[in-house]
Amino acid sequence: MSATEIRPTTAGVLDTKAAPKPRNMGQIIRWLLLFAGGIVMVMPIAYMISTSLKWPWEVYNVNLIPEEPTVENYLYVLEDGRFYWWFLNSIIIATATTISALFFDSLVGYTLCKFKFPGRTLVFIAILSTLMIPTEMLVIPWYLMSQSFGWLDSYWGIMFPGLMTAFGVFLMKQFFESVPDDFLEAARIDGLNEFQIWWTVAMPLVRPALAALAIFVFLGNWTAFLWPLIVTNSTDMYTLPVGLAGFGDEADVAWELIMTGAAISTIPTLVVFLVFQRFIIRGVVMAGLKG
């Protein structure tokens, strides 16, 4: 339909005039909701950055723009040797856990998806059921395990609960469902063993899922607080969130320093997201192609 309305004038000549666009209330509401959602998402980040630029005396003011912006907090945090150590701990733990989860989750997901063996469904249900147990309930058995294996206050102790995730197994299994068996059988005929088939043929076909899982696992471990707090004792073993929470003294919490550390710590998460995001988008685009 054209948006141009044609109507006769008093002189009998046709007059063309652009008709006003009908107001689409649904669209307006959608935009308003999106705007509100955007505000809810962005405001905490905006406040984090704003607070990181404030002097201590201004921290409890709700103004978004600091009266006297300063980078002193950044200089203080970056000059504090502990920050680099926590940052390194977080990088090592989040990276190692992500690589491990990608490897094991996809291996187990692939096995549960592509191999028929007695008890397969039972194993899958057992893995899935662990998703229903909250972390708060698991920390005690984790702690006892760590204690008996001598893993307290070590990288291994912080990492072991996340080396394989039930969610990742579920996600990868679902994605492997979309890989046709013919690909795997063709590789089998071409002489590859089962591990090679998984690694060479199946894994490249689920790259978007791997990218999504990498983002989830990395962010999850980067921001993990409760378990690292419980399992670590020495300041050197702290991860970034645990270390940042300790800024300040017993009398006062140095929010401006915590927010500064938090602002710096978002940089790796942004990098991870930007790196893996293109794989997700490419995967979606490839899936849409037809022969």
Partner 1 sequence: MAELSLHKLVKRYGDTEVLHGIDLSVKDGEFVVFVGPSGCGKSTTLRMIAGLEEVSGGEIRIDDRVVNNLEPKERDIAMVFQNYAIYPHMSVRKNIAFGLRSSKMAKADKAKRVEEVADFLEMTTYLERKPAALSGGQRQRVAIGRAMVRDPALFLFDEPLSNLDAQLRTQMRLEIKKLHQRVGSTIVFVTHDQVEAMTMADRIVIMKDGHIQQVGTPEDVYRNPANTFVARFIGAPSMNLIEADSTGDTVRLPGDTAVALTAPSGPVTIGIRPDDLRPVAAGGLLTGTVSVTEPLGPETLIYVDTPAGEMIAKASGRTPPLVGEQVQLGADIADLHIFDRTSGLAVR
Comparison of 213 and 263: residue with beta carbon closer to partner 1: 213
We find the least distance from the C-beta atom of residue 205 to partner 1, in angstroms, to be 7
Binding status of residue 188 toward partner 1 by CB under 8 A: yes
204 binds partner 1 per the rule CB under 8 A: yes
CB 132 to partner 1: min, Å: 34
CB of 104 to partner 1, least distance (A): 22
Decide whether 67 or 177 has the Cβ nearer to partner 1: 177
Among 107, 152, 205, 264, binds partner 1 (CB under 8 A): 205
Nearest alpha-carbon partner for 93 in 230, 238, 233: 238
d(CA 158, CA 229) in angstroms, rounded, equals: 9
Options 36, 185, 275, 277; binder of partner 1; rule CB under 8 A: 185
Which member of 18, 189, 270, 274 binds partner 1 (CB under 8 A)? 189
Give yes or no for residue 57 binding partner 1 (CB under 8 A).
no
**Residue 26 makes contact with partner 1 by CB under 8 A:** no
Which region among 13-21, 44-52, 138-146, 190-198 touches partner 1 (by CB under 8 A)? 190-198
From residue 206 to residue 225, what is the string marking binding to partner 1 with x (rule CB under 8 A)? -x------------------
285/98 Cα distance (integer angstroms): 25
Tell me how far, at minimum, the Cβ of 159 lies from partner 1, in Å. Answer: 30
| Interface stretch with partner 1, choices 29-37, 48-56, 199-207, 225-233 (CB under 8 A) | 199-207
Q: Give the CA distances from residue 12 to residues 9, 243, 259, in Å, rounded to whole numbers and listed in that order.
A: 5, 81, 71
What are residue 17's phi and psi, to 5 degrees?
-145, 135
Beta carbon nearer to partner 1, 166 or 184: 184
- Out of 99, 139, 201, 264, point to the residue binding partner 1 (CB under 8 A): 201
**Rounded to the nearest whole angstrom, what is the least distance from the CB of residue 261 to partner 1 in the complex?**
40
Residue ranges that bind partner 1, judged by CB under 8 A: 180, 182-183, 185-192, 201, 204-205, 207, 286, 289, 291
